[in-house]
Amino acid sequence: MRLVWDHVNDGMVVITICVLLFMIPAKTERRRIPGMERCPTIALRNCPAFWKRFCPALGFMESGLSDWLAERLEILHHVHPLVLLLVSGVIITIISEFASNIACVQMVLPSMVALGAESDLPVKGLMIATTLFASLGFMMPVATAPNTIVFGSGIIRTREMIRTGVWINLIGIVLISLIIWIRYA
């Protein structure tokens, strides 16, 4: 028995859990998701799990929060688009260091749509920039799964990850901002 435990590592535990999750049957009942009937494509109607990811954005729009936010962001109409991209890039990247990338994008995209209505940049450019900013998680071990795996090896400490990751994040923010500004301005 001692020989078996000597060969168990983090990867084996993860693989075992994944195999078990595929073997456990899922519930067969389907629940109605508010707003799903307005979905324009049949493919989304057949895949409620995919649609659930868009529910926060739908809630922002239906509750009027996006309109309210757009009214509050009128002061940003006079801010240069590049400065707007850089500042939003820093904020979104910091959020994505502590939250999952998908959660960050879901939380911030409706606000960026409202911001796009009040700025000189098109909404499409801001949405692309937001999605790219959210994937700049290089500082913290909890930011992405690869960061967690590298940190779990014990070779790299959090302090080293932060020291290196902050520069990678800043370079990424500047590059994404410049590319989006050149492309969409």
Whole-structure pTM value: 0.63
For all residues of the chain together, what is the average pLDDT? 76
Same domain, 33 and 73: no
Burial class (CB in 10 A: 0-12, 13-18, 19+), 154: exposed
* Contact between 68 and 111 (Cβ < 8 Å): no
DSSP 130-166: HHHHHT---SSTTSSHHHHHHHHTSSS-HHHHHHHHH
Domain carrying residue 38: 1-55
Where the chain has pLDDT below 70, the residues are 1-5, 25-62, 65-66, 69-70, 73-74
Q: Under DSSP, is residue 40 helix (H, G, I), strand (E, B) or coil?
A: coil
The CB density around residue 28, as the number of other CB atoms within 10 Å, is: 5
What's the number of domains the chain is made of? 2
Same domain, 5 and 78: no
